[in-house]
Structure 1
């Protein structure tokens, strides 16, 4: 049977177990402690309940949709292969609307009221910064698919793990290394830093500025804007006046498209443009014009071209299921599911402390490559540097995983 409750939240059973959607209410948990499932509970044939909250509505909904699909596809595959510990899995999904307080309430509710067996994480540094302490307080393994701000991991939580190759600390590496490898006479001399007020993007901008300064690249404009900013014409005009060689932009959602449109309106096209997050959004190319994507750089955790962790099967199966190839958000969710599955199977039970200990001591083979973590849950790998070329995101660094040579100068807007 499906769960029935009020309309804001949604409880999903995997398609092979049940086709349909049931709603669930948002109730703020009492805040009292709750222990992990007992051995007696683990002997049942009932489905393993896995809870999460995602921004299925609000400004990040376009990223949450493929993220939800990645989680669902992982659960379908688990169930098709016998489940976890011989039990089917069932996802209970709440909608946080991209709001911190709602996300906190959702995870309190999932643990205290719904008494889920396992958790999976939400999206963005802003939400995970608020939610990770909830999971830690209750002693639940918390695997977040996105949101790499180091502030989240600086609290040295034991149950927190990031399902991407590195945190924000490592995000600038490949792009800065690319500039360093350019002939000195061809390197950009000036940079504009523009970023949404978010723990991930503001930290990344600071690191970009510091690393580029070491190469002699001067910051001529640095602006942090509010998350609700909708008109970027003033910022675009200020960038045009500063006339930087390269723009490093830290958007979170649709603000990536909005800044590009404003730059087009004011007639400024930099020689190099790097954007976080936005270029991997499904509607990005259409929104700015496919020809205008040419030469834009971004960092990615995932490529459909790699052979890691069953990735070819994931790409083929996901594409067949949904009618399009997985994007990074779908892949990040699927990776988080792979990590959770490895923890359960490694521990051999649903004991949260044993799962956390197993992850701290082992490497997990995933579709983004082998993942291992330090004591605070920081992964120990590197992101890929990608660039739009002929309408496709090509990997241009590191060299041993590249699918194309980089273009150093972005064409003017079309």
Structure 2
């Protein structure tokens, strides 16, 4: 059974307001009669000005997606702590109610059902992974809630009719490798890779990143010699690694999360397969990645929507605060979680409400449709389906550190075009 984790304060929610919200949700009343949440910018809603704004969240804290799920949790908790230390939202403290969905799509749906229908949370934030975002977003839509999410980038997210959804990152999965594809296309033809091997987790996001690059490379005439899809719980990559090694592909592309990428790389190294280029989604940006695979990180590429060195207006303060709180710099998962908070907070402060009231929730949705939000991953705007209108950076391990190499105007280091042996 999922047990909620509360982030300060823990018991200040008025019980009478809880009961009233639950009763209204259960009977399907279209609009709450609580005071506030009007377009005039009232700060009230669920009770007095001292009541916290309760935000419901379900995250994969165990199971297949637990590693990035915990990163998102750290980002959410850091954001809530920062907000509360700086006056709260609408002058009210923020309280997070976090459930563990165990990386299970059925469980995440029931978690959001509980958070909204039983617990009467004021707002919701999204989970990690496209697999979990789709069912969670459907529950939020059914109840008319704004749904901002940090880690559901696959195209299927944006074709479900979720008019309440916004992805809090620069680009969708298919576009994550756009800058790398542009660079390869600009290379002299005799220097481009001629063959490519793809190994992707059976996951919409992971496949979306790998196949977005695959489409571009095939348009350039790069031949696909291996195309393998594996279940999310795969741990033995011997067979896939053998196929890739036997193909002698010039570039290997992994549509990966974290542990699968580590296991695949270890298996490829054991076979002494040496590609000219190697790129994996998500995993190389994880701070545990170098320790997990050893010293041979040099030249490995990965798309990222975030770097701690970015010069966006609020990023330096975020990095300083997060680092002091956690004794380490934030990575992409933490940054996207913080960004989710920034996006929702911008709408809340602009509209003047943060309540489980359909009118308030619709005002928040409408405001985000029409406005740009400044975040730690840059300025964000969205199309009508919630797709962000930006691009991911390309990072690479250079001199033992992961650094931005593309696009050139944002580069921290020069791209290594031929990967050293691993």
Aligned partner of 1:12 in structure 2 is 6
RMSD in angstroms over aligned alpha carbons? 1.7
For the residues of structure 2 that align with 1:37 and 1:383, how far apart are their CA atoms? 40
Q: Report the CA distance shift for 1:300/1:344 in structure 2 as closer, same or farther (over 3 A).
A: same
For the residues of structure 1 that align with 2:417 and 2:112, how far apart are their CA atoms? 45
Pick one of 48, 52, 57 that aligns with 2:57: 52
> In the alignment, does 2:108 pair up with 1:99?
no
SS of 1:56's partner is: coil
Q: Report the CA distance shift for 1:85/1:8 in structure 2 as closer, same or farther (over 3 A).
A: same
41-50 or 75-84: bigger deviation: 41-50
> In the alignment, does 2:406 pair up with 1:401?
no
For the residues of structure 2 that align with 1:37 and 1:384, how far apart are their CA atoms? 43
Where do residues 207-218 of structure 1 align in structure 2 (5 Å cutoff)?
207-218=212-223
> In the alignment, does 2:124 pair up with 1:124?
no
Aligned partner of 1:3 in structure 2 is none
Moved over 6 A (4+): none
Pick one of 320, 326, 336 that aligns with 2:324: 320
Q: Report the CA distance shift for 1:31/1:383 in structure 2 as closer, same or farther (over 3 A).
A: farther
For the residues of structure 1 that align with 2:33 and 2:66, how far apart are their CA atoms? 36
Pick one of 378, 382, 393 that aligns with 1:373: 382
Gaps of 5+ in 2: 12-24, 36-44, 355-359
Aligned partner of 1:156 in structure 2 is 161
User: What is the CA deviation profile of residues 160-197 of structure 1, one whole-angstrom value per residue up to 9, with x for unaligned ones?
Assistant: 00000111131121111121122222110000011000
Pick one of 294, 299, 307 that aligns with 2:298: 294
TM-score relative to the length of structure 2: 0.90
Pick one of 367, 384, 391 that aligns with 1:382: 391
Q: Report the CA distance shift for 1:406/1:35 in structure 2 as closer, same or farther (over 3 A).
A: farther
1:10, CA displacement in angstroms?
Answer: 2.7
1:108, CA displacement in angstroms?
Answer: 0.6
Aligned partner of 2:77 in structure 1 is 72
312-321 or 178-187: bigger deviation: 178-187
User: What is the CA deviation profile of residues 71-128 of structure 1, one whole-angstrom value per residue up to 9, with x for unaligned ones?
Assistant: 1111111111111111111000000111111111101110000110000010011111
Does the aligned pair in 2 maintain the 1:149–1:200 contact within 8 Å? Answer: yes
Aligned partner of 2:345 in structure 1 is 341
Aligned partner of 1:235 in structure 2 is 240
Does the aligned pair in 2 maintain the 1:35–1:138 contact within 8 Å? Answer: no
Where do residues 140-219 of structure 1 align in structure 2 (5 Å cutoff)?
140-219=145-224
Does the aligned pair in 2 maintain the 1:194–1:248 contact within 8 Å? Answer: yes
Q: Report the CA distance shift for 1:268/1:36 in structure 2 as closer, same or farther (over 3 A).
A: farther
1:294, CA displacement in angstroms?
Answer: 0.6
Aligned partner of 1:310 in structure 2 is 314
For the residues of structure 2 that align with 1:318 and 1:107, how far apart are their CA atoms? 27
User: What is the CA deviation profile of residues 296-331 of structure 1, one whole-angstrom value per residue up to 9, with x for unaligned ones?
Assistant: 110001000112131111111111111111111111
1:244, CA displacement in angstroms?
Answer: 0.3
Alignment coverage as a number of residue pairs? 394
Gaps of 5+ in 1: 1-6, 20-29
For the residues of structure 2 that align with 1:123 and 1:65, how far apart are their CA atoms? 9
Does the aligned pair in 2 maintain the 1:156–1:375 contact within 8 Å? Answer: no
User: What is the CA deviation profile of residues 327-370 of structure 1, one whole-angstrom value per residue up to 9, with x for unaligned ones?
Assistant: 11111100000001011111111210000000000000000000
Does the aligned pair in 2 maintain the 1:10–1:93 contact within 8 Å? Answer: yes
User: What is the CA deviation profile of residues 23-52 of structure 1, one whole-angstrom value per residue up to 9, with x for unaligned ones?
Assistant: xxxxxxx98747566542345221010000
For the residues of structure 1 that align with 2:27 and 2:176, how far apart are their CA atoms? 38
Flag the structure with more relative contact order, 1 or 2, with Cα contacts below 8 A and sequence separation at least 6: 2
